[in-house]
Chain A
């Protein structure tokens, strides 16, 4: 039975949509249906946003070498769990943060778009590294299959530049995202880099 339907495997069902988005240069409106929450309240939203910001669950999703830095961030030395987002989820259904860590090429782009669709809202995206931001070293005339910026496919909240960015860079990106979600920077008492003691 699978053999008979193997022909369907040739082209991803998002291939045409991908071309359209690339032509537009922006993702456009991705929402098909939005009935809104059953009950909305300003105070409740603030509380929930505070909770969301402090327990971001990223997706286990590395596309290229930037993912190595992302893994390093998850390990003991940089320890993303200090900021509540160490729970890398293997399924988009359980995650609310997509860290696009690396080069998005045209073959992978449909999968990225599908995975973004499958994350439950509210969801956020961090474009990590120059490739995900703008194509990086691939943004040349001869480039034929690298998407020059993942923000042409899906909406991006925070850009973390670098090739690859250091884990501290991604950490700062996550802190910025927390700031964006909840309006305040966490964790609460935080010194600026200039105030940090020098050794």
Chain B
């Protein structure tokens, strides 16, 4: 007779195995019994009835979107720096915490103002005129 805590692990393993079997059994059973008829377009990738054209690697993505990625990063870091503030918020007297919080966020917001003035938010469509 193994030690009781080993027996507990055996229970866990049995339940895990049951879970895995319950998860995969439907796939296996349906794979055994399913009819495997294939029509001319059954294996086509695209599912909306239209013909696909071109390759999936040919998608061109607007390079201007990297600006949005940078702005997102800026806001994200803003939020990140607020976590220590939240952690230490109860250690300072009330009004001081609020003021310092707003001071800090205000300075960070100036970065957004800078981006705004620089004209990042205006979307310039650069298209060659023919």
Q: Classify chain B: how many residues form its interface, as a range.
A: 20 to 34
Q: Quick check: is B54 within 8 A (CB to CB) of the other chain?
A: yes
Contact check: which of A31, A35, A38 meets B32 at CB < 8 Å?
A38
**B58 & A1 in contact (Cβ 8 Å cutoff):** yes
**B51 & A8 in contact (Cβ 8 Å cutoff):** yes
Question: Which residues of B, 23-47, contact A by the 8 Å Cβ criterion?
Answer: 31-42, 44, 47
Chain B residues near A17 (CB-CB < 8 A): 40
**A121 & B35 in contact (Cβ 8 Å cutoff):** yes
Q: Quick check: is A39 within 8 A (CB to CB) of the other chain?
A: yes
**A31 & B37 in contact (Cβ 8 Å cutoff):** yes
Q: How far is the CA of A38 from the CA of B34 in the complex (A)?
A: 8
Q: How far is the CA of A135 from the CA of B111 in the complex (A)?
A: 65
Contact check: which of A2, A35, A110, A118 meets B36 at CB < 8 Å?
A35
Q: Quick check: is A117 within 8 A (CB to CB) of the other chain?
A: yes
**B33 & A48 in contact (Cβ 8 Å cutoff):** yes
Query: How would residues 92 to 115 of chain A score, 1 for a CB under 8 Å from any chain B CB and 0 otherwise?
Result: 110000000000000000111111
Q: Is the interface of B mostly helix, strand, loop or mixed?
A: loop
Q: Quick check: is A189 within 8 A (CB to CB) of the other chain?
A: no
Q: Quick check: is B65 within 8 A (CB to CB) of the other chain?
A: no
**B55 & A1 in contact (Cβ 8 Å cutoff):** yes
CB distance from B107 to the nearest CB of A (A): 45
Query: How would residues 1 to 42 of chain A score, 1 for a CB under 8 Å from any chain B CB and 0 otherwise?
Result: 110011011001110010000000000001111111111100
Q: Which residue of the partner chain A has the closest CB to B39?
A: A117
Chain B residues near A2 (CB-CB < 8 A): 53-54, 58
CB distance from A135 to the nearest CB of B (A): 21
**B40 & A32 in contact (Cβ 8 Å cutoff):** yes
Q: Quick check: is A91 within 8 A (CB to CB) of the other chain?
A: yes
Contact check: which of B35, B37, B41, B55 meets A118 at CB < 8 Å?
B41
**B35 & A8 in contact (Cβ 8 Å cutoff):** no
**B47 & A93 in contact (Cβ 8 Å cutoff):** yes
**B32 & A39 in contact (Cβ 8 Å cutoff):** yes
Q: How far is the CA of A113 from the CA of B39 in the complex (A)?
A: 10
Q: Which residue of the partner chain A has the closest CB to B34?
A: A37
With A2-B58, A114-B44 as known contacts, state yes or no: A121 contacts B51, CB within 8 Å: no
Q: Quick check: is A197 within 8 A (CB to CB) of the other chain?
A: no
CB distance from B76 to the nearest CB of A (A): 33
**B38 & A8 in contact (Cβ 8 Å cutoff):** no
Question: Which residues of B, 45-97, contact A by the 8 Å Cβ criterion?
Answer: 47-51, 53-55, 58, 60
Contact check: which of B37, B51, B58 meets A13 at CB < 8 Å?
B51
With A1-B55, A31-B38, A38-B33 as known contacts, state yes or no: A118 contacts B44, CB within 8 Å: yes
With A8-B51, A12-B50, A93-B47 as known contacts, state yes or no: A37 contacts B38, CB within 8 Å: no
Q: How far is the CA of A2 from the CA of B58 in the complex (A)?
A: 7
**B49 & A115 in contact (Cβ 8 Å cutoff):** yes
Q: Quick check: is A44 within 8 A (CB to CB) of the other chain?
A: yes
Q: Which residues of B contact A (CB under 8 A)?
A: 31-42, 44, 47-51, 53-55, 58, 60
The 9 A-B residue pairs with the shortest CB-CB distance in the complex, in nearest-first order: A111-B49, A1-B58, A117-B39, A117-B41, A121-B37, A33-B38, A114-B49, A8-B53, A115-B49
